Amino acid sequence: MAFTTLNPATGAVEAEFEPHTPEQVEERLTRAAETFASYRRTSFAERAGWMRAAADLYDAEQPEIARVLTTEMGKTYGSAKAEVAKCAMCMRWYADRAEALLAVEPVETSAGRAYVRYEPLGPVLAVMPWNFPLWQVIRFAAPALMAGNVGLLKHASNVPQSALLIEDLFRRAGFPEGAFSTLLVPAGAVASIIEDDRVAAVTLTGSEAAGRSVAAAAGRALKKCVLELGGSDPFVVLPSADLDRAVPVAVTARVQNNGQSCIAAKRFIVVDAVRDRFVPRFVEAMAALVVGDPFDPATDVGPLVSRAQRDEVAAQVDDARAKGAVVACGGEPVPGEGWYYRPTVLTGVTPGMRAYDEEVFGPVAVVEPAADVDEAIALANRTSFGLGASVWAEDPAEQQRGIEELEAGMVFVNAMVVSSPELPFGGIKRSGFGRELSEAGIKEFCNAKAVRVA
């Protein structure tokens, strides 16, 4: 099975790579384990120097790197460049703060001296998705490498150029050979790699099915794992919301990354008091978006990543329409080459429709009415997912209810859900467990070693 770059804008094959042989995988696992033995003893200053050098490369080569991201998965060129810049920012954030975040913590004790020290675990396997080919990897790799771990990347099979590019950039930045290695292997090989004694832990960003598989393998091997899975994030518009701010952000929150983001707003829950003012403006703005060539600066929404993904979104919309939902705008693929789907707003969506019960990974918004704040929060929580939530209100009491009562790993007030190094990133319920980014993220793959000196 070759790893293929298939351009979503044209359907053309751009590049193909042969998978690593079992011997090559063995070599990379051995090298990672051997490198960890010495890399863990490097100083924070040494690691920070290499990390800043990597960030400098990302900045210097931003146009070329972004072109790879757009060609492989179809995100607009502007958003691809922003992704590269965000990665460089994250690298510098951890380079500047890792030593303080992992500093020895004194503990008061009745006898002797006690403290907690944070030590790296070893080679960490990252199983990563295609939708943010760079950022998903760097938000794991930057803290893991700064903590003294080494990284092994099994990337999505449709972004091989991105996977190899990341390994090359870390190498050129000066990191020791084996500190970060890409494994071009099929999904079926992941379980055996997790079970390998040289692998200390695993992190996955991906689907619920992939999360179950990785968690099962990690459980059998008794290894730490972090899972960031799907989301069906609510965008809750309450009576005191400022609609002039809420409407444009709602559009961006839904169609960011061509609608293919786990933290994209997907369910727009609008109370009756503002529904007649919010919904028409939202539909009009969604219908006005420009769909087209992701390299064209005028484009708002590029293609979906694959024909299968486009067909899945179309099937979810068609199912809702057939069962009585109203298509307020969009609702169909764009004719011609490439895997484009028109930005869509659905109303009248009810339980039993796929668009209600499933995560829709494309530029499709589901609008749900709510009588009041109580019903809005109940509807927002009526999902098996719990990744992020966005609540819109000017009234402090309404804001506080959203903060306290929405069941999610992240709640953003009067803003769309985003990821940044300062805040822990992750979810609850079937959106996974564990955290990336922030202090919480860098400590996920550390041994919190308790020390007591009598």
* Alpha carbon 370 to chain centroid, angstroms: 29
User: CA distances (Å), 114 to each of 103, 111, 121, in order?
Assistant: 14, 9, 21
Q: Is 348 left (phi over 0), alpha (psi -120 to 50) or beta?
A: left
Q: Is 15 exposed, middle or buried (0-12, 13-18, 19+ CB in 10 A)?
A: middle
Asked whether the CA dihedral 247, 249, 254, 256 is positive or negative, the reply is positive
262 in active site: yes
User: 310 by DSSP, 3-state: which?
Assistant: helix
Beta strands in 168-312 (DSSP E): 180-182, 201-205, 224-228, 233-237, 265-271
312 in active site: no
How far apart, in whole angstroms, are the C-alpha atoms of residue 158 and residue 323?
34
DSSP string, 140-178: HHHHHHHHT-EEEEE--TT-HHHHHHHHHHHHHTTPPTT
Catalytic residue among 87, 90, 225, 262: 262
- Residue 395 in contact with residue 240, Cβ under 8 Å? yes
How far apart, in whole angstroms, are the C-alpha atoms of residue 92 and residue 415?
25
How far apart, in whole angstroms, are the C-alpha atoms of residue 443 and residue 448?
8
Tokens at 254, concatenated: 């839904």
Nearest residue to 124 (alpha-carbon basis) of 135, 114, 139, 110: 139
Tokens at 54, concatenated: 């990597």
Tokens at 366, concatenated: 């589901």
CA angle 119–121–124, rounded 5-degree value = 140
Tokens at 210, concatenated: 């992939």
Catalytic residue among 72, 228, 359, 444: 228
CB count within 10 Å of CB 342 equals 20
* List of residues 6+ apart from 241 with CB closer than 8 A: 274, 278, 392, 393, 394
How far apart, in whole angstroms, are the C-alpha atoms of residue 140 and residue 398?
35
- Residue 301 in contact with residue 291, Cβ under 8 Å? yes
How far apart, in whole angstroms, are the C-alpha atoms of residue 216 and residue 213?
5
Residues with a catalytic annotation lie at: 228, 262
